[in-house]
Amino acid sequence: MFHTLRSKLVLSYILLVLLCLILLGLAAGALITRVQRRANLQRTQALAILLARRLHTWAGSLDPQALLGRIKREGERLQGHLLILNEQGRILIDSKGSYVGVRIPLRNIPTTIDAPPTILRHTFADGREYFIVIASLPPPPRAEAFQGRYLGIALQVREVDPPWRELFLPLLLIGGGVMLIAIAVGFVLANSIARPVREMTQAAQEIARGNYQQVIHAHGQDEIAQLARSFSQMAQEVARAQRTQRDFLANISHDLRTPLTSIQGFSQAILEGAIRDEAGYRRAAEIIKEEAERMATLVEDLLELARLEGGQLELQRERLSLKDLLEKELTQMRHRAEEKGLQLQVSLPQELPPIYGDSHWLSRALANVLDNAFKYSPPGSSIIVKVSHVHAQAPHPAPLPVSFGPSIEKGEWVSIEVRNPCEPIGTEELHRLFERFYRGDRSRRRSEGSGLGLAIVREAILAHGGRVEASYDAKGGEVLFRLWLPITS
C-alpha cells in the first residue's frame, strides 16, 4: 500500500500529527487537571473559613446533640466529609460517620480563624485518598460543650480532579478535525514533493532510452525545486555531451580520412607505376610524409588532451618568470602577424610576479589562443593582447558569458586577454568553442587545423588552477578570450 513516495510522506505527516495530538492531549489534560484542582481547593478553603465561623457561633448557642445534628446537616450539603478534629488531629466528628477516631498527621496548621486553611493529602485505611482542607477554630464560648480545635473538609481526590470522561469527547472531536486537516495538507505537500520527483524519474527513464531533451518545470526556491533545475541542467549537459561525442566521431573520421586518402592515393600511384620520374617520386614521398606527420600530430594532440582531461598528465611545475615567457611567445608571434598582414598590439606591465607552472603547456596555451586569433582575423586588422596583475579584493573585470574554472575570489591573479575581430559568433557556437574538433559554421569550416587548440587551452589552464573565459561583442564584431593564472608563493 505504501510503496510510493507520496503515500509514505502522507503517512509520515499523519503519524507526526497523531503523535503531536497525543502529546498535546496529555499536556492539556495535565494542565486542565492542575487548574481545576486548584480552583476546587480554593473554593473549599473559602468554604472552610465560612463554616469555621458558623461553627463558632453554633458552639456558643447549641447543646452538644444539637451541634452534632447541625454539623451532619451541613456535611450532607458537601460532596465530601465535614470533620471536627482535636489538637492531636484525631477526628471527633465525621458528618458521614466513616472515620471517627482516626488520627490525621497535622502539619503547618493555621493558628487563627482568619489564616488561610491548610491543604493535606491523606490516604485512609480503606485505601481512599482525600484532600483535607483544615481551618482553625477559635475556642468556643462553652469549652465543656465542644472539644473541637480544627474544622476539616475532606474531598476524595477523584472528586476534586476533573473526570477524564468529560474531557475525552471534546479532545477527540478536536483531534479528529485536526487530523482531517492534516491529511488534506499532507496530500498537498506530499504531491508538491512527489510530483517533481516523479517527473525526474520519468525524465531519467527517457534519457536512458536516448531521449535527452528533458526539462523539469520547477517553481519556488526550495531544495526540490533546486534539484529539478539541476536535473534539467544535467539533462542539457548530457545532451550536449552526446552531441559532442557524435561530432567528435564525425570530425575525427573526417580529419583522418583526408590524409589517409592522400597516402593511399600516392602510394597506389607508386605501386602501379603511374609515377615514372624521380621528381614525381620525390613529390609523392613528400606528400605522404606531410600527411603522415599531420596524422601523427593529430593523434598526439588527442592523446595529450585525453591525459589532460583525465588528470593523468603530470605537469612539470617550476618557478617561472611569466613576463619572460610571454615576451618570448609574443616575439615569435609578431613574425607570423607580419606575414599575415596583421597588427599585434601588446600591453605588458613592467613587473609581473613569478608563478609556478609548466612552461611547455603555458606556452602552448598562449600560442593556441594567438593562433586562433590569427586564423579568424581579416587581413589588416589588429589583435590586442593585454596582460594585467589583479588582486581579487581589488576591482577586476566582470566574468565573461562563457567561463570554466574557479571564481576569482581570493589571492592574486594574472589576467591575459586576447581580443580580435572575427565574423559573428552565435551564443550556442560561443559555448562550443572549447569542444574538441569544433570548428563551427561559416569561416571555421574553411579553416585549417584539427579543432583541438582551444580545448587544449582550456585543459592546460584548468590544470594550473586557472580560469578560462570568452565572449563576443556583436557591436564591435570582436571575440575576447581571457586566461586567468593564479600567483602562488
Query: Residue 436 pLDDT more than 90?
Result: no
Last residue of a domain, one of 165, 199, 222: 165
* Higher per-residue confidence, 176 vs 442: 176
* Higher per-residue confidence, 198 vs 310: 198
Q: Give the structural domain span for 16.
A: 5-165
Q: Computed over its alpha carbons, how large is the radius of gyration of the chain?
A: 49
Q: If you average pLDDT over residues 261-276, what whole number do you get?
A: 80
Q: If you average pLDDT over residues 142-152, what whole number do you get?
A: 69
The confidence score (pLDDT) of residue 469 equals: 92
Q: β-strand 382-391 against 343-347: which pairing, if any? A: parallel
Which residue intervals of 273-358 are DSSP H helices? 278-309, 322-339
Question: Binning pLDDT at 50, 70 and 90, where does residue 446 land?
Answer: very low
In terms of domains, do 360 and 483 share one?
A: yes
Query: Residue 279 pLDDT more than 50?
Result: yes
Query: Residue 82 pLDDT more than 80?
Result: yes
Exposure string of 201-226, with b = 16+ CB inside 10 Å and e = fewer, is eebeeebeeeebebebebeeeeebbe
DSSP E strand boundaries for 29-159: 81-85, 91-94, 118-123, 129-136, 150-156
In terms of domains, do 135 and 151 share one?
A: yes
In terms of domains, do 409 and 434 share one?
A: yes
Q: What is the mean pLDDT of the chain?
A: 78
Cα gap 146→151, rounded to integer Å: 12
At residue 28, φ and ψ (nearest 5 deg) are -65, -40
Residue-wise pLDDT tens digits, 229-248: 777 777 777 777 677 667 66
In terms of domains, do 302 and 376 share one?
A: no
Last residue of a domain, one of 286, 313, 340: 313
In terms of domains, do 233 and 257 share one?
A: yes
Predicted TM-score (pTM) of the model is 0.50
The CATH number covering residue 402 comes to 3.30.565.10
At residue 321, φ and ψ (nearest 5 deg) are -90, 100
- Decide if 206 is inside a domain: no
Residue-wise pLDDT tens digits, 204-219: 777 777 776 777 766 6
Query: Residue 249 pLDDT more than 70?
Result: no
- Decide if 187 is inside a domain: no
